[in-house]
Amino acid sequence: MARTAMKALRLFTVAVCAAAVVPRVAHRGMFVDGVTYASIARNLALGRGSFWSPSYTATVYPRFYEHPPLGFWLQSWWFRIFGDHLFVERLYTVTVAATTGFLIAVIWRALGPEVPGAAGRHETEPTRQSQIRPADFDWLPILLWIAVPVVSWSIVGNLLETTVSLFTTAALAASLCAARDPRDRVAAAWAVLSGLCVVGAALTKGPVGLFPLVAPCVFVRLRDARRTWTPIAGQWIAVTTCGAILALLPAARSNMLTYVHQQVLAAIAGDREVSAGSFTILTTLLQGVWLPMAVVALLSAAMARRFVTPSRADRDRALCFLVIGLAGTLPILASAKQAGHYLVPAVPAYAIGVALLIYPTIEERAAWLQTGAVATAITAVTALLVVGAGAGAFMPGFGRDRNRLADLDALASALPRGATVGICPAVNTDWGLHAWFERLFQVSLEAGEATPHDWFLKTNGADCAGATCAPVSEPGRALVLMRCRRGD
């Protein structure tokens, strides 16, 4: 009976994930960085730019070295397969996130947490009272993961951190398998795979993807770890070998050196965007990650009417993953450029660590969860979440950039695809404007008082068009496309 409750809680977790993502991802609006990344990926699919030299627009980053290229290249294959549609980047990011959630469950099952009160029995043996296996709680770390607001925000925003999180979570899973597999060759293969995943993370967002390198060292603390040096050596050899190969390739070396100088060193020196404070990432960690997880933990304790102390082995496991999470968080303090979504790759480790601490408490009341009134309540809430997620997909309030997209729609029929359009210098730093024109129309914007282009974009509060320019779209809108005559 109680295992039926676990199935209901799995469905509830899926419904929570849908409610957190579907209403926002179903709309056309998107965070400016996500629109930019989708444009670069689409351009790669069209043959504009190359793997080591992606292209954004003809006027803004015609060679894009602000981030490593792997994330763009992976998304470009979705454009190659499905074509140039707005749903493509959304389908990509949701699929990547779903795969990350699956890997979190894989790690949980591989860990085999102890059954509460199972002293003297094998770890994975179910309790006689409830017949619940530790694997039945695989929904819990996923629920804790999606409960962190910045995770769903990263998913619906098509941010690179979603792809980084996939690689880093896969690296942790492979590293765990390497530490526990009794076969030498298989353990070495898992270690090498972990290293390749770390390389994939670093080639997507740079140094923030390197933190799983600490995992083999941390997993030594696990009571059932069978390997010490094989996971460490295999992972690090794979990473250093890939680094050496990339250093020997001129295009790769040029890309990475430019990225390091333009982005990494500049961010550390404070020459790029500067966050509100030196400890922004810690504030976000406390308020945006640990607080939501603490709320879930407190609700679990309230439901069980007490907190069940986890076993010593589970406390050790939890400490391992919390340390790995901190390894993915604390190095960000070295940069003056900090943002909440930088934490996303570390959240799966935090979620697994916290789940290891609180699942015995939930197990305490597993049978109660299956009682008539409680089971009905869980089913009703699950249904409401699913219905709400579906309804939210059609509610305009969940979309962003609605007014701007309406203005873009109004001039779409008159705008030549692939053109370069002039704009006033005053709006040249409106990066959302650049992003949407490139994403929707493959149009580049170029600032200049006396634009040499045949097309000009007039915006509210910035009108520097020449006397020979006449509107060809609705004049009363915030964005007005103008056709300009030359040679008069």
pLDDT in tens, 466-480: 778 889 998 889 999
Q: What percent of the chain has pLDDT over 90?
A: 59
Task: Name which of 46, 32, 83 is nearest 442 in CA terms.
Answer: 46
Buried/exposed 62-72: b ≥16 CB within 10 Å, e otherwise = eebbebbbbbb
Task: Name which of 405, 452, 410 is nearest 432 in CA terms.
Answer: 405
Question: Where in the chain are the domains?
Answer: 2-392, 402-484
Mean pLDDT of 277-285: 82
Mean pLDDT of 359-377: 77
Strand ranges in 186-260 using DSSP code E only, listed in sequence order: none
Angular region, 61: left φ>0, alpha ψ -120 to 50, beta rest: left
Question: At residue 122, does pLDDT exceed 80?
Answer: no
The pLDDT assigned to 450 comes to 55
- What is the rounded CA–CA span in Å between residue 231 and residue 175? 6
The pLDDT assigned to 125 comes to 42
Mean pLDDT of 287-315: 87
Residues 421 and 437: beta-carbon distance below 8 Å = yes
Angular region, 87: left φ>0, alpha ψ -120 to 50, beta rest: alpha
Name the token pair of 339.
């943002």
Helix (H) or strand (E) holding 167: helix 160-180
The pLDDT assigned to 132 comes to 58
Angular region, 236: left φ>0, alpha ψ -120 to 50, beta rest: alpha
The pLDDT assigned to 318 comes to 93
Is the C-alpha dihedral spanning 403, 405, 409, 414 positive or negative? Answer: positive
Its pTM stands at 0.91
**What is the DSSP pairing of strand 479-484 with strand 469-471?**
antiparallel
Task: Name which of 242, 238, 233 is nearest 70 in CA terms.
Answer: 242
Task: Return all residues near 374 (Cβ < 8 A) that are at least 6 apart.
Answer: 368
Mean pLDDT of 426-443: 94
- What is the rounded CA–CA span in Å between residue 353 and residue 356? 5
The pLDDT assigned to 154 comes to 96
- What is the rounded CA–CA span in Å between residue 213 and residue 324? 9
The pLDDT assigned to 488 comes to 52
Residue 382: how many other CB atoms lie within 10 Å: 21
CA 289 to chain CA centroid, Å, is: 14
The more confidently predicted of residues 319 and 182 is 319
The pLDDT assigned to 48 comes to 95
CA 258 to chain CA centroid, Å, is: 24
Mean pLDDT of 311-339: 89
The pLDDT mean for the chain works out to 88
Q: What percent of the chain has pLDDT over 70?
A: 90
pLDDT band at 337 (very low <50, low <70, confident <90, very high): confident
Question: At residue 39, does pLDDT exceed 90?
Answer: yes
- What is the rounded CA–CA span in Å between residue 292 and residue 148? 6
Question: At residue 114, does pLDDT exceed 70?
Answer: no
Question: At residue 436, does pLDDT exceed 90?
Answer: yes
Name the token pair of 111.
């860990």
Per-residue pLDDT tens over the stretch 83-109: 999 999 999 999 999 999 999 999 999
The pLDDT assigned to 232 comes to 93
The pLDDT assigned to 113 comes to 64
SS3 for 445? strand
Task: Name which of 178, 195, 174, 296 is nearest 239 in CA terms.
Answer: 195
The pLDDT assigned to 233 comes to 93
Among 16-20, 249-253, 336-340, 367-371, the least confident range = 367-371
Residues constituting the chain: 488
Mean pLDDT of 384-403: 85
- What is the rounded CA–CA span in Å between residue 29 and residue 23? 11
